[in-house]
Amino acid sequence: MNRLDNESSFWMPFTDNRSFKANPRLLASAKDMHYFTPDGRAVLDGTSGLWCVNAGHGRPKIVEAIQKQAALLDYAPTFQLAHPLAFEFAQKVGALFPAGLDRVFFANSGSEAVDSALKIALAYQRAVGQGTRTRLIGRERGYHGVGFGGISVGGIPNNRRSFTLLPGVDHLPHTFNLEKSAFTRGQPEWGAHLADALESIVTLHGAETIAAVIVEPVAGSTGVMVPPKGYLERLREITTRHGILLIFDEVITAFGRVGAASATEYFGVMPDIITCAKGLTNATVPMGAAIASRKVHDAIIDGAGPGIEFFHGYTYSGHPLAAAAGLATLEVYREEGLFDRARALSPYWEERAHALRGAPHVIDIRNLGLMAAIELRPREGKPGARAMETFHRCFDEGFLVRITADTIALSPPLIIEKAQIDQLFDKIADVLKTIA
């Protein structure tokens, strides 16, 4: 493959550093639907980078906006000062979400957006006289970034086991059931009752101790786990009845991935807080946001005494380059109708994904919008090995997929063409025939 100079310097995240540096696979440039390796080989991007480059790579409008802003105002603090673009961008982001969900707190990543949302939830409960509500509820197999709050409410074991976690956290069961729901197209019929586990948690701890529940509407990083029909609605009903805030982690699902501006819009279920990142700026400049309802925001702001109302923030909150990139990204989404395009392509995507049923090693296929997961049967005593080999083979043959455990996850840029969808699934089918 490609030789690495000074290979010891970069400690790579979520990577088998020893194996990678022995056989590196490098990306040197990108344009539209493709990455390019240092030797000029094209790699079709089947994963939008890391679920984030929703409008495709190297979009001129976004590039030009960043360049122009860097020359005009490279940085401005937003502690007791501000710059106009942060306000403009916040207004336009808020307008994409359902009415009343439009108070935008900027961060720099999905991880920071989640920790911000958890703090907002705790601050809200204190502001409304419910200071005993400090417990946070996540879900098994949930991924909410890598901050201490995110890994505490998250439910992926390897992300948690090496670290000291926040106290007072509990977890709902996940919704994946291979026996009941294998090869479902869209939302499974079985599983809405799993939301009732929240009632058991309320009984165990007392509603007066619980501040918020956080779930991904579609659990992405664990392998595209689509919510059962009625599940999110049931969670909303239970949380409302017990005075618990509901947080939707939409870091992956917002900005067109499910064929709508957000999963909140797609499913028609209104949380109290949404987190987003990734597609927010098309991943060109790091940025995330926690978007609170007016009820939550106003309780914190109006309930505070003189001075700072919420003691939280980041040096780069509302960064000028990120705001400029985000504004240009929203224009690209709007001008090209990319959310509608994703929705229109979804049936074709679904058909091609489920055509892999019967391919070697495939035990389940899941999909929603322009997301899909292909679950492979693990090798005896070697979990994850079959998917990792598939990942390497696909890359070497010019196609980028994502893996988690023994699941192949796909989430292409929303500009993908039907012919490229065919190429992607045909290649996966071919590769699976070669995998032992």
Summarize pLDDT for 112-140 with one digit per residue, the tens. Answer: 999 999 999 999 999 999 999 999 999 99
Residue 313 dihedral angles phi and psi, to the nearest 5°: 160, 175
Q: Which CATH class is domain 17-59+337-434?
A: alpha beta
Tokens 């504004």 belong to: 327
Distance CA 371, CA 336 (A): 20
Average pLDDT, the chain: 97
Report helix, strand or coil for 291.
Answer: strand
Mean pLDDT of the region 57-64: 98
Report helix, strand or coil for 147.
Answer: coil
Domain(s) of CATH 3.90.1150.10: residues in the chain: 17-59+337-434
Distance CA 223, CA 228 (A): 15
Q: What is the DSSP string of 185-206?
A: SSS-SS-GGGGGHHHHHHHHH-
Give the model's confidence band at 33: pLDDT under 50 very low, under 70 low, under 90 confident, else very high: very high
Distance CA 362, CA 375 (A): 6
Report helix, strand or coil for 302.
Answer: helix
Mean pLDDT of the region 196-202: 98
The CATH number of 63-336 is 3.40.640.10
pLDDT at position 1:
42
121 within 8 A of 245, measured Cβ to Cβ: yes
54 within 8 A of 256, measured Cβ to Cβ: yes
Mean pLDDT of the region 318-347: 98
User: Which is nearest to 33 in space by CA: 418, 387, 334, 329?
Assistant: 418
User: Which is nearest to 415 in space by CA: 351, 332, 355?
Assistant: 332
Domain(s) of CATH 3.40.640.10: residues in the chain: 63-336
Mean pLDDT of the region 165-187: 97
Instruction: Write down the number of H helices and E strands in the chain.
Output: 16, 15
Residue 199 dihedral angles phi and psi, to the nearest 5°: -60, -40
List, edge to edge, every strand of the sheet that includes 34-36: 29-31, 34-36, 42-45, 399-400
The beta-carbon contacts of 344-349 under 8 Å, at least 24 apart in sequence, are: 344/259, 345/370, 345/416, 345/418, 345/421, 346/259, 346/370, 348/418, 348/421, 349/421
Summarize pLDDT for 395-411 with one digit per residue, the tens. Answer: 999 999 999 999 999 99
Residue 4 has pLDDT above 80, yes or no: no
Residue 116 CB neighbour total at 10 angstroms = 26
